[in-house]
Structure 1
Amino acid sequence: MNREKIESIATALVVGGGIGGMATAISLARRGVAVELIDLDPDWRVYGAGITITGPTLRAYAQLGLIDRIKAEGAVTTASRFRLFNGTVLRVMDEPVIEEGLPATGGIMRPVLHRIMQDAVRAENIPVRLGLTVDALDNVDGGVDVRFSDGSAARFDLVVGADSVFSRVRDLAFPHMGPAQPTGQGCWRISMRKAPELDMGEFYFGGANPCGITICGPDSMYMWMLTEHVERETYMTDAELFDGMQALLAGYGGNAGWIRDNMTPGDWINYRPLAAVLQPRAWSNGRIVLLGDAVHATTPHLASGAGMAVESAIVLAEELARAGVSPEQALTAYEDRRFERCRDVVETSIAIGNLQLAHGRPDQLAGLMEGALARLNGPY
């Protein structure tokens, strides 16, 4: 892969050590930028669910040079199965290979993917500072003066906010933006050993709550289930999560039923309400720019949140490397390339969720999903 050196900036601060932040740090460092990465979590962790990796996301990871490790430590397949909630098979959808040499689709446990990306960050000798965020950002004379939460200060040619849906960078530098908005749905997740007969990803429709299963390794899988979100004053206990997921799976057949009958209190179970937002333009302010969930937070309906963040990181580095273009022009070009693609993901995901809340027909839901995924197979 041709990687022209970035001449327009020499230094960059990436705020946020998640998927988007690490992809950005790697992409910039490989083009000659002296990058520093910071993350608020002192232990640089990620929670334990799996993640579905669609063809476009695999393509983006291939551009980062990480595809071989993802294939080795995750799972790949060539098709997905659509079922009614009772286990009846509706159809098997062949997943297209969108680029020669790439798997069609797959999955991996988030902590495993996080470790793979952390190793790539370390391989580029990128300094990483943990337990740290930013308290002030000032565009001054073609750079950004930064004051960190520990009281220290530094100056960078570029600051990238990839610090989650709760972005501190967005709060400091983008007053025209706001928080993500609740969608009315919540997502249950469980990670556990793989069902013996599970040979591809599955989607279940027609019941009160749609769900899906992704293979994440030789003996691991995770399942998600979408429900209407009901506000409560306290988080659910481990016992409530276990009992709640078992109850929600009553009447489900196939491998979803197998999960109900074989899950244990020791399996990782999580619930969270869903929220999404496509932030209004502009996505940059001087030499400060946003990326990933900080600016295009989506729901899991298209399994594309991580892919959009990695794509954005690659596009940002490509635009900064264009000869004869100022950093400000490059940031505008990055936004121009990303806005409509990210809008499609966010708005289609919300539309799918609304249709699920309205108990739309399985063929309608499958049509929305297939249409969006086909569009995402195109270039970015």
Structure 2
Amino acid sequence: MTRTVEHVLIIGGGFSGMAAAIELRKRAIAVDLVEVDPGWRSYGAGISLGGATLRAFGRLGILGEFLELGHCADGVGLYRSDGSLLGELPTPRLAGPDVPGGGAIMRPVLAAILARATRASGADVRLGCTFTSINSDADGVDVTFSDGATRRYDLVIGADGLYSAVRSTAFPEAPRPSYTGQGVWRAVVPKPANIKSAVMWIGPHLKAGVNPVSRDSMYLFIAEDRATNERIDESEFLPRLRSLLAQFSAPDLIAIGEQLNESSHIVFRPLEELLVGQPWFKDRIVLIGDTVHATTPHLASGACIGIEDAIVLAEECAGERSLHEMLQRFQARRWERCRMVVENSARLGEIEIAGGDKLEHAAIMRESLMKLAQPI
């Protein structure tokens, strides 16, 4: 019997798009993946990952390479801005009894791991290419590409990120990303011997943290309240980040500030969020990842829920139901989990900006991590 989905196009080569290619190929579904960036680059410093993400890496088959090239540890140490201990946030071991409950890695390193797995899966990867038109009918989707080629597919997956061209084309009524009132600074610094896992220092209106990304490096992050989303020139990055660190008296952060220099890979990103209402599919086009549920990093779960989307969608596409039933099942399995991450992350940011109830903040963190621990 011919399956409902035999040939899929994925538009976007980020984490969720690559994960979808890997999972669909496991089920012998033909995959074309197009990525507009000819260099298939991933920007940024480190990325923190929870146990649910590591569990998803196990499903993808990349957990071993992540453990070799990244860093894993249990728990998150919580401190006041002066360095005095507040407590520790436990991180359940969701990827297996021998795999710590959290970790971190450089974004470009993780992207390279996924890119190797995507190519090894047999997906047809075309870089420097995107779509120019998508026309869906009852039996398939005709896609014209920027290189002049035209191909027909059973399903098109939009995984082209926060400012998705697929979303704008197929879902013109969808909301646009919105600025949250915070920005995040990141940098890469040497890892001292006393930092063995993720650590955060919490001040009245600033939150700083570090997370090891390898045996000898860690990445620094600082969440800063910013009333307006204004561009910051790169020449200001180093002095501004040093100025923010100067607001903490914790010895570890003082030492980090002294180590920062022009080679510290400093990046700044205004925090934006997006939650597109149901459904995330129309005819033979479906959206996944940041394209429909971009979240702030407060729960360290943005990459997680995008990769989970890919896993669930591939599971549903392997069946023999009608395409509409498959996509409905995908939607039903993903909506509440993704909504929770986006909205709870947003609430954590609101509490931080307002200097609000720390007990509410802690309760939301605990509740969210418990829900993320549940199977997908």
**1:201-240 paired onto structure 2 within 5 Å:** 201-231=198-228, 234-238=231-235, 240=236
Per the alignment, residue 34 of structure 1 pairs with 30
**1:25-104 paired onto structure 2 within 5 Å:** 25-101=21-97, 102-104=99-101
Q: Does 1:128 align with 2:125?
A: yes
Q: Does 1:350 align with 2:346?
A: yes
Contact 1:165 1:294 in 2 (8 A): yes
169-178 vs 296-305, which deviates more? Answer: 169-178
Deviation at 1:362, TM superposition (A): 3.8
Give the letter aligned to residue 163 of structure 2.
F
Q: Does 1:9 align with 2:39?
A: no
Deviation at 1:226, TM superposition (A): 1.2
Kindly tell me the number of residue pairs found equivalent between the two proteins. 374
Per the alignment, residue 256 of structure 1 pairs with 253
SS of residue paired to 1:210: strand
Per the alignment, residue 173 of structure 1 pairs with 170
Deviation at 1:160, TM superposition (A): 0.3
Per the alignment, residue 267 of structure 1 pairs with 264
- Cα distance in 2 between the residues matched to 1:243 and 1:6: 61
Distance 1:263 1:276, change over 3 A: same
Deviation at 1:184, TM superposition (A): 1.1
- Cα distance in 2 between the residues matched to 1:122 and 1:58: 21
Give the letter aligned to residue 156 of structure 1.
Y
- Cα distance in 1 between the residues matched to 2:363 and 2:224: 20
Task: Give the TM-score, by structure 2 length.
Answer: 0.95
Q: Does 1:115 align with 2:112?
A: yes
- Cα distance in 1 between the residues matched to 2:229 and 2:310: 37
SS of residue paired to 1:379: coil
Deviation at 1:151, TM superposition (A): 2.9
The alignment's C-alpha RMSD in Å is: 1.6
Q: State which of 242, 257, 262 in structure 2 corresponds to 1:246.
A: 242
- Cα distance in 1 between the residues matched to 2:339 and 2:41: 29
- Cα distance in 1 between the residues matched to 2:360 and 2:251: 22
Deviation at 1:254, TM superposition (A): 4.1
**1:280-319 paired onto structure 2 within 5 Å:** 280-319=277-316
Deviations along 1:230-274, one digit per CA (max 9) or x if unpaired, are 547654123x10000000011321432321121112111111211
- Cα distance in 2 between the residues matched to 1:350 and 1:306: 16
Q: Does 1:336 align with 2:325?
A: no
SS of residue paired to 1:274: strand
SS of residue paired to 1:217: coil
359-368 vs 79-88, which deviates more? Answer: 359-368
Deviations along 1:159-200, one digit per CA (max 9) or x if unpaired, are 000000011110111123121111111111112221332111
Contact 1:206 1:361 in 2 (8 A): no
- Cα distance in 2 between the residues matched to 1:11 and 1:147: 15
Contact 1:176 1:280 in 2 (8 A): no
SS of residue paired to 2:239: helix
Give the letter aligned to residue 226 of structure 1.
A
5+ unaligned residues in a row in structure 1: which ranges?
Answer: none
Which runs of structure 1 show a deviation greater than 2 angstroms over 4 or more consecutive aligned residues? 98-103, 149-152, 229-235, 254-258, 360-367
96-105 vs 306-315, which deviates more? Answer: 96-105
Contact 2:299 2:365 in 1 (8 A): yes
Per the alignment, residue 370 of structure 2 pairs with 374
- Cα distance in 1 between the residues matched to 2:83 and 2:247: 9
Deviations along 1:38-74, one digit per CA (max 9) or x if unpaired, are 1111100001311111000111110011111111111
SS of residue paired to 1:342: helix
Deviation at 1:127, TM superposition (A): 1.5
Deviations along 1:308-328, one digit per CA (max 9) or x if unpaired, are 011000000111123x41122
Per the alignment, residue 150 of structure 1 pairs with 147
Identity across the alignment (%): 39
- Cα distance in 1 between the residues matched to 2:84 and 2:373: 29
SS of residue paired to 2:157: strand
Deviations along 1:119-138, one digit per CA (max 9) or x if unpaired, are 10111121111112212111
5+ unaligned residues in a row in structure 2: which ranges?
Answer: none
Deviations along 1:307-348, one digit per CA (max 9) or x if unpaired, are 0011000000111123x4112210111011100000000000
SS of residue paired to 1:345: helix
